[in-house]
Amino acid sequence: MRTLEGVLAGHPFFGGMDPRYLQLAVGCAANVRFDAGELICREGERADHFYLIRAGKIALETSAPGHGSLIVQTLGDGEIFGWSWLVPPYNWRFDARATEMTRAIVFDGKCLREKCEADHELGYELQKRVIAMLGEYLDATRFRLLDIYRDAID
């Protein structure tokens, strides 16, 4: 049986992280499981968690007037979601829903923020990793928008 620390060390988000920071982060972590269709978080509500997806799929959704809920992005194995725990006012920017049975590791955002305040190097390391992930997500969104507008023009 693998420990949470071992799982984190093998996850792309934490890959190559200094073991002492990994140890600090694991103190805020727990395993979690979501059933298909289960709502994980709701846009506008307090964001005190972030998740590493071990297996399964999570859809990030937003409400579009007159169109209902639209899927903005679907995330899967090896990805993370939930950067709002790091940025005041700590509110979710999207709804998140499991589209299939999903196993993840959940982190208590308040616990991590406190550890980052106590150890600014840990905070800097986590921020670098979250910002890199956000850059990847923005690129993916840009490509989706180009596809949408290309289809509208054609």
pLDDT at position 133 is: 84
Question: Which residue range forms the structural domain that includes residue 17?
Answer: 4-152
Q: What is the pTM of this model?
A: 0.85
pLDDT in tens, the chain (154 residues): 578 888 898 888 898 999 999 999 999 999 999 999 999 999 999 999 999 999 999 999 988 788 778 888 899 998 999 889 988 999 999 999 999 999 999 999 999 999 999 999 999 999 999 888 888 877 877 777 777 667 666 6
Structural domain count, the chain? 1
In 29-84, which ranges are E strands? 29-34, 39-41, 49-55, 58-64, 68-75, 80-81
Q: Which residues contact 83 (CB under 8 A, 6 or more apart)?
A: 50, 130, 133, 134
pLDDT at position 72 is: 83
* Domain CATH for 54: 2.60.120.10
